[in-house]
Amino acid sequence: MSRTMTIPRPDDWHLHLRDGAVLQAVLPETARHFGRAIIMPNLVPPVVTGAQAAAYRDRILAALRDGMDFTPLMTLYLTEKTDPEDVAAAHGSGLVTAVKLYPAGATTNSASGVRDFDRVRPVLEKMAEIGMPLCVHGEVTDADIDIFDREAVFIDRVLEPLRRATPGLRVVMEHITTQQGVDYVKSNAENLGATITTHHLVINRNHILVGGIKPHYYCLPVAKREEHRLALRAAATSGDARFFLGTDSAPHTDPNKESACGCAGCFTATNTLSILAEVFEQEDALDRLAGFASEHGPAFYGLPISTDTITLTKGDPVDYPPKIDTGDGPVTLFDPKMPLRWRVT
């Protein structure tokens, strides 16, 4: 027998759309189900000014197919040369929703990120003054720190001192992957939230490495031990409003994933809602899916919950295509290695 549930139309609070031919192909995969998304600015070159954000937003809107209703929420890429007044003007106009902090070298196209955090303090102080959120890729990049420890070390060495030095700054810890990340969010009652990805609820590091390297499960932050995956599932399904969905859906063409130095990222835009429904059902928490996917994020960002709805129906397994075609080559869809019986209807 089929089963249905209806929730407010979800939003994605961490999304990569890329540009050009890939943007044209992947945007409909998000816009089909999601009403809004925080758009990552790590293009080449990165989106660092209000003018660049406006131009990128225009390219996104131009790529929307007829009949699709989708609002890109733009971000600025924080550099050590970012102008606080440009940030404030872009936010005040409604053009830009947040600023993104990448530690230099932490992930894809992050070479222009921050090395000396004291040099961005004027921007952070301005953001605290105007109530503008800072989205943080929370990993250190020190060569002597093990890749599986980068998030925990970042919290102690960078994030906690940064937040103490800038009272009132609203921070989103993006794509948390560890028990330490969960615990840190829980220990702070105000001005701190965290996004959790679809794929980190499903895979641990064994999925990447056991039985041969699986490049389409390689992401940054990299998936951790099983104990951390379980901590993320508990947080996502808890009903705690400090945790909300940010898919970090990150398309790369297959040649760029399946290479001697493969790109990091999992493309999950197409099947995220099916996967989430399965995960929340497994955790006996379907009644909390709307909070995680549709309600907690808008509350943190000070935006209204969507008045539109989507309906999910459980029935026969959904047959998603393994790849989508782009003008630059195929992009492989994340495979959760479990039947997906929930679909948007």
Helix 121-130 vs helix 84-92: crossing angle, to nearest 10: 30
Residues 310 and 11: their CA atoms lie apart, in Å, by: 12
CA distance readout (Å), 297 to 40, 206, 243, 266, 330: 16, 30, 8, 21, 31
Residues 234 and 66: their CA atoms lie apart, in Å, by: 39
Please give the backbone phi and psi of residue 260, each rounded to the nearest 5 degrees, phi first.
Answer: -65, -25
Length of the chain, please?
345
Contact present, 133 and 301 (Cβ < 8 Å): yes
Catalytic residue among 146, 248, 308, 325: 248
DSSP assignment of 85-126 equals: HHHHHHHHTTSEEEEEE-BTTSSTT-TTSBS-GGGGHHHHHH
Residues 341 and 290: their CA atoms lie apart, in Å, by: 18
Helix (H) or strand (E) holding 312: strand 309-314
Q: What share of the chain is helix, strand, coil (3-state, %, to 5)?
A: 35, 20, 45
248 noted as active-site residue: yes
* Residues with catalytic function: 248
